Amino acid sequence: MSNSVFLNFATQGALVMIMVGLAVAFIRLAKGPSLADRVVALDMMTVTIISFCGVYAVLVEDSSFLDVAIVLALVGFLATVALARYAEKRLEHDPEQRDAVSKGESSDA
């Protein structure tokens, strides 16, 4: 088995595993049950898409996909920070939910 055949096989296998991870994260995003679960699932989807861009760049030998991955990483980080701030403000204004979070319960449906 030559190096190029092995690299092709490994990258295609990695792309399949990344797609499975993306599907699992999407299911968690859709089902929830809480806002925190959805934020973590969205962050996981961002990371898997970034890894997809990196592996695909290796597969097609085109570095322009790495630029897309870098931009997506920056946007994903900003989105995670914005959603975390939103969740924090939401807890400040809703005392019932703050009490449920401190007890480890979830009131989001």
| pLDDT tens, residue by residue, 64-103 | 999 999 999 999 999 999 988 988 888 888 766 666 666 6
pLDDT at 109: 46
pLDDT per position as a tens digit, 26-38: 999 999 888 888 9
What distance in Å separates the CA atoms of residue 49 and residue 47, rounded to the nearest whole number?
5
Residue 21 confidence (pLDDT): 96
pTM for the full predicted model = 0.79
What's the pLDDT score for residue 101?
Answer: 62
Q: Going from the N-terminus, what domains does the chain have, and what CATH number goes with each?
A: 3-103 (1.10.287)
CA–CA dist 104, 89 (Å, integer): 18
Percentage of the chain lying above the pLDDT 70 cut: 86
